[in-house]
A and B are shown apart, each in its own frame.
Chain A
């Protein structure tokens, strides 16, 4: 209910775009974009 990231993603054309894997994209804030 309070996941604001999802609320923003719900506004864009591709939505949450998670496929079948759910929120497995989540990382610590400074770990995004690492290989």
Chain B
């Protein structure tokens, strides 16, 4: 850990308030970024995907279960795995996407 200067409470408060300005700027920027993400154009998914799950075979529409949003994350098992992460392994890729009807 880096060495820190030790100052009076008054000096600390002044520095903390300066940082707060930066934190608020960051929060606003993140909100703008999130808005830009929501404004991205859409691509139509017209391939008839079928999934194997606990309820048997389901289509992509089935997975929405009547809701307006679906979050998908891609967690890849090696061929001999029954579940993820039984031992520490490298080579897992997790990608996420979200879909909207």
> Interface residues, chain A, CB within 8 Å of chain B?
1, 10-15
A-B contact count (CB 8 A): 25
Task: Say whether A1 contacts B23, CB under 8 Å.
Answer: yes
CB distance from B41 to the nearest CB of A (A): 12
Task: Say whether B27 contacts A1, CB under 8 Å.
Answer: yes
The residues of B that contact A11 with a CB separation of less than 8 Å are 34, 37, 96, 98
Q: Which of A10, A11, A13 has the most CB of B within 10 A?
A: A13
Task: Say whether A10 contacts B37, CB under 8 Å.
Answer: yes
- Enumerate the 4 nearest inter-chain pairs by beta-carbon distance, A residue then B residue, closest first: A10-B34, A13-B100, A12-B98, A15-B38
Within 8 A of A (CB), among B24-79: 26-27, 30, 34-35, 37-38, 68-69, 71
